[in-house]
Structure 1
Amino acid sequence: MKTAFVFLATGFEETEAVGTIDVLRRGGIETTVVSITGEIMVEGAHGLGVVADLLYEDADLSAADALVLPGGMPGSNNLNAFKPLKEQLVAQDQKGKIVAAICAAPLVLGGLGLLKGRRATCYPSFESALTGAVVSDAAVEVDGHVITGRGPGLVFNFGLALVEALRGKAVAEEVAAGLLLA
């Protein structure tokens, strides 16, 4: 079974986190929600608390198929400040496995140099943080094993792109139909 880890930091964008988790799980992907805060309950940007499955220090990310960063502020900055996650993202990229971020969170990938020469999208006004990227205003950009999404209203596009990358087009289409998106 394919595996994905979705990382929560204080101030994450709730729609992007919960929507992505839901779509991944509907797609039959073993999805683990990981808190980088040291607390199992993480508060989002709009005050919604989400209970993570486990703390970062308890996560075995060695066999992860996808590492996923929801956006939001200050959540994206908090992800960017967490060095162990950034080291893991670089290792995942070097293995050619999926790294994904939506909204403001692609700033983490940009700062790590993971977007150089790749098509990428993000929330408007964060384009300058996508260092070296070929920036677009597309809903989602899939460039090799790097997937970026534009923002909360496009979370289904982002989640379905992940499902397609991990399980194939047919599964993504089935999930979309179940969500009445097809």
Structure 2
Amino acid sequence: TGRFGVTLSETIPMEDYDFSQADCLLLPGGPGHVNLEKNEKVREQIRNFYNDENKVLAAICASPTILGRMGLLKGKKYTCFKSMNEDFGGEYQEDYAVTDGNLVTGKSAAAAIDFAFAVMEKLTGKDHTDQVKASIYYDADR
């Protein structure tokens, strides 16, 4: 359990996990996005989180391209690893992190902290996120 009360536990196989209890589905970037996209069970959960207004769907780096190829970025503001951006029918942003409704996307590994704060703000609110930023002396303008 970390300083802010987040506890990491053992890995649970996907077929044993109760996704209905999760508030957020976060798709990591990197080359593993290929395996995520190939997995129908993963795509099913992506759709479930995307369609549930009480849940957050977050993807960073290469993973937003999965959402794009699934048609989930149409009409949305988003970002992803710039060289992987295609015409997904949405509005690509150059920002490190982009929030559109309950969808949060991050540009790259360099964007990890901004992406994390965007996800945190969706889950815990702006006041709490600002308190955490202050406690670690985070200044986005530096």
Give the TM-score range, shorter chain: 0.7 to 0.9
Q: Which residue of 2 aligns with 1:39?
A: none
Q: Secondary structure at the match of 2:26?
A: strand
Distance 1:58 1:87 in 2: 15
Q: Which residue of 1 aligns with 2:51?
A: 94
1:89-109 C-alpha deviation (Å, 9 max, x unpaired)? 101111122111000110111
CA RMSD of aligned residues (A): 2.1
Q: Which segments of 5 or more consecutive residues in structure 2 lack a partner in the other structure?
A: none
Q: Which segments of 5 or more consecutive residues in structure 1 lack a partner in the other structure?
A: 1-21, 33-51
Contact 1:27 1:171 in 2 (8 A): no
Q: Which residue of 2 aligns with 1:142?
A: 99
Instruction: Assess, with a 3 A threshold, how the Cα gap between structure 1 residues 29 and 133 changes in structure 2: closer, same or farther.
Output: farther
Q: Which residue of 2 aligns with 1:45?
A: none
Q: Secondary structure at the match of 1:142?
A: strand
What is the TM-score normalised by the length of structure 2? 0.87
Q: How does 1:103-122 map to 2 (within 5 A)?
A: 103-122=61-80
Alignment size in residue pairs: 138
Contact 1:27 1:163 in 2 (8 A): no
Q: Secondary structure at the match of 1:67?
A: strand
Q: Which residue of 2 aligns with 1:19?
A: none
- State the 4+ residue runs in structure 1 displaced beyond 6 angstroms: none
Percent of residue pairs identical: 35
What is the TM-score normalised by the length of structure 1? 0.69
Determine which structure has the larger strand proportion and give its number. 1
Which structure has the higher relative contact order (CA within 8 Å, separation 6+)? 1
